[in-house]
């Protein structure tokens, strides 16, 4: 039951985020752009011109919904990191869990401190999400239990590398033609897509085979 709750937490967290993202962006009077607008623009409280990191007008009528989604996502990421059983035992698995849980804390902070209300707190939250969380994704490539095989295992490390590289490019305003919002999404979305895929895989295995083995090898 503990594993099932953890997997469901990650699935619900990611799905509700992407659904709410679509609903909130559709409420904008001026078209919201995945290339020109930050994800955080959806949670901004005030209608105003924003100068940094790129000039744009931001007015998000449904910002309360987006900020609530950030908080829900963060809480469910932490729940999944604590309860989901996808990591091998030992320090590397623990480190990956903690880093991904810190991304959850970052999403909560992002939701509680919109960028135009408390920029410093919001930036700390974003660092936790795209810095610590993506590092956790990279470490997960070496920390997955043996039963996680095939494409998911092979995909984890490249996703982590891609997300970390995109975050560095985003911080230094190098968008490679994707725009500010596009590069931010390359940095932020891989962790969420990965949690959705890995949790769906884990839940499917539970449904077919029952409780998973821990992946530990006992020699004797």
Contact call for residues 14 and 104 (beta carbons, < 8 A): no
Q: How many CB atoms lie within 10 A of CB 22?
A: 10
Q: Give the torsion through C-alpha atoms of 47, 167, 111, 27, to 10 deg.
A: 40
**CA 35, CA 74: separation in Å to the nearest integer?**
24
**CA 128, CA 120: separation in Å to the nearest integer?**
13
* pTM (two decimals): 0.90
Q: What 3-state class would DSSP assign to 126? A: helix
**CA 72, CA 134: separation in Å to the nearest integer?**
19
* pLDDT tens by residue, the chain, 220 residues: 888 999 999 999 999 999 999 999 999 999 999 999 999 999 999 999 988 788 899 999 999 999 999 999 999 999 999 998 888 889 999 999 999 999 999 999 999 999 999 999 999 999 999 999 999 999 999 988 877 778 888 899 999 999 999 999 999 999 999 999 999 999 999 999 999 999 998 888 777 765 544 444 333 3
The DSSP line for 93-113 is: HHHHHHHHHHHHHHHHHHHHS
Reported as a single tens digit per residue, the pLDDT across 159-205 is 999 999 999 999 999 999 999 999 999 999 999 999 999 999 888 87
């Amino acid at each position: 039951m503990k594993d099932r709750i953890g997997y469901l937490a990650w699935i619900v967290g990611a799905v509700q985020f992407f659904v709410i993202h679509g609903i909130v962006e559709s409420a904008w009077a001026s078209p919201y752009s995945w290339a020109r607008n930050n994800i955080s623009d959806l949670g901004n409280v005030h209608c105003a011109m924003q100068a940094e990191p790129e000039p744009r007008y931001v007015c998000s009528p449904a910002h309360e919904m987006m900020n609530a989604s950030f908080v829900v996502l963060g809480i469910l990421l932490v729940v999944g990191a604590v309860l989901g059983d996808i990591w091998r035992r030992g320090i590397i698995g623990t480190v990956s869990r903690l880093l991904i849980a810190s991304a959850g804390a970052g999403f909560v902070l992002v939701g509680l401190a919109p960028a135009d209300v408390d920029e410093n707190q919001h930036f700390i939250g974003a660092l936790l999400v795209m810095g610590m969380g993506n590092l956790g994704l990279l470490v997960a490539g070496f920390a997955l239990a043996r039963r996680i095989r095939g494409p998911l295992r092979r995909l984890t490390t490249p996703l982590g590398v891609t997300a970390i590289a995109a975050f560095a490019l985003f911080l230094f305003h190098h968008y490679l033609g994707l725009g500010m919002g596009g590069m931010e999404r390359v940095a932020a979305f891989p962790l969420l897509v990965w949690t959705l895929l890995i949790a769906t895989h884990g839940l499917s295995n539970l449904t077919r085979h029952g409780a998973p083995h821990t992946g530990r090898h006992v020699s004797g």
